[in-house]
A and B are shown apart, each in its own frame.
Chain A
Amino acid sequence: GAGVSQSPSNKVTEKGKDVELRCDPISGHTALYWYRQRLGQGLEFLIYFQGNSAPDKSGLPSDRFSAERTGESVSTLTIQRTQQEDSAVYLCASSSGLIDPLNEQFFGPGTRLTVL
């Protein structure tokens, strides 16, 4: 596909359940990011993958959150034992990772997670 895709677009789950959110970056993009955006709020950085380097997990809010990336392709964000405060839109973005002055991030449409 031409852009970043995310699935599902919407996810409703019960408190305590685990959820998996998927991101397909633009083909060839080595950098991949996950952000959380609560209603009416800014983007909260969660985790960043760059090629084969160790991911930057400094934004993960708790050990209930984890993410994996297979090579330079799909990434999965997993939230275990979901809580109501996890309700948010989870945005994925990718960039080429090149040393390029203009190396913008391309965002996916997001996954809206609602924890009941």
Chain B
Amino acid sequence: AQKITQTQPGMFVQEKEAVTLDCTYDTSDPSYGLFWYKQPSSGEMIFLIYQGSYDQQNATEGRYSLNFQKARKSANLVISASQLGDSAMYFCAMREWRGDDKIIFGKGTRLHILP
């Protein structure tokens, strides 16, 4: 079974609109962390935001926020006021705190921002 599921292989959004990228995860470990990374066409992986399983509040970083719904095991990324530079591949990832440091990535969502 997949640990991280990103159901949207591609999305098209008009510039300045908000966009939500979906991510669901599967774990039996009560302690875990969730990450979002951005990969522009240049290929570099850029860390965006992190949410810990015990964090009481949804994480925010500038225009990025994480809609964390623990009971539903979802960790959707919300980008407000999208910009052309947001066009990229976005990956959701999870680390389970089982004593190792392994991080599992989803298959990604390709986001296209339209002018």
Which residues in A have some Cβ–Cβ distance to B below 8 Å? 30-31, 33, 35, 40-43, 45, 48, 50, 53, 56, 89, 91, 93, 95, 97, 99, 101-107, 109-110
Contacts and interface: CB of A to CB of B under 8 A. Distances in A.
Given A45-B104, A107-B44, A99 B97 contact: yes
Interface in B30-77: 33, 35, 43-45, 47, 50, 52
Interface stretch (B13-21, B80-88, B105-113): B105-113
Contacts, number: 57
Question: How big is the B interface, by class?
Answer: 20 to 34
Contact residues of B: prevailing secondary structure = strand
Nearest to B106: A42
A105 to B, nearest CB: 6
30 contacts: A31-B101, A42-B106, A42-B107, A42-B108, A43-B91, A43-B105, A45-B102, A45-B104, A45-B105, A48-B101, A50-B100, A50-B101, A53-B100, A56-B102, A89-B43, A91-B45, A93-B45, A95-B103, A97-B101, A99-B97, A101-B52, A102-B33, A102-B52, A103-B95, A103-B101, A104-B35, A107-B44, A107-B45, A109-B44, A110-B43
